[in-house]
Structure 1
């Protein structure tokens, strides 16, 4: 049996560490230019669309797919689940729980990036913890100062006026985030409800500083098999 892990998250790394030495391959989309080395064979980049993905599964004798991509990688997840269902291949999504507000949090849930403008006054300083992939969806925030943090140095200019990139590689402690937000004069934090303890530090920092948060809601869950923790995913692999 050859297992294909779709990675790019901390959970995927933990799966790779637990499954090293087994017949498995981990695939990364290539969103980060210099990803940390993984303890199993890996590939980087897309598959070339749905047919390319189907061909890859066949050519590499893949027996099962474990999807540990980002909770907002819904197009990849939906396509993968559909292809696996079509060919009768075992498929599982590892979808970590989303964040829930805690005492002192000032969160407003929004459906999509374009809705943020309705909650941010003109002239405010906005910190985007959403990554660069959906940055163009915030173009209606032109009358604000927009700061987008990303891991790699930008290869293209900021896509709209009033914005700039900030390069930083996680992990970030709560203290790091508080100092950064104070130095930048952040008035509002915008994040996707990705879940995970490591990424929550920016939310804790916003709580301590009284900074309001716009929380982009997750895509709807699919009707395929889903677990919410690494141990359950490993048990699924063991049972194959």
Structure 2
């Protein structure tokens, strides 16, 4: 019997968190999900979450019994702090400290703290998050060292052993698409393309080969380049959503 059997997935409704959810469902007996409303410009990501979860249950019957309760918590204070292009109508740009202004200081630290509290209350052992140190914007709260420090702090502060799992930490966006394909084949890749949302501008009008988005913001740029590398590596004649 595996050491850990339950997990809480930080589930935004985007490509990365949906892939992490599929990974957790392939391993754990009970999986719950957690989203955050923090005044993000791309709040549409919260709107697509329910549809993704419903389609997960419908299209993957082996996973459906494992998929438990969904939770959404509000963090209005992050928007009140201001200064980020994810919470204010300002252009994407680099800051004087070398970080993009899409960085929301403390966001992932707060997410994990609240996830730890919820996991404590719900009796969940593993917290799964889609942070990555390979294809990312340099956010310090996405680094492996930060995750290890948060795991230690939560376990000590809650007097309960919690594990923070980061399935995407050392892979790029192309490899994330490949991971989704290994986990759920074309049905999962199709679901991610059609239903998830990653665009920072909240664009659900323009349908790209890799999904909906403006095609220009930093999140779309990463996703697009990853899709192109993933699609180029497919065997000749293999079907992808972009060619059907």
Larger strand percent: 1
TM-score using structure 2 length: 0.32
TM-score using structure 1 length: 0.32
* Max Rg structure: 1
Larger helix percent: 2
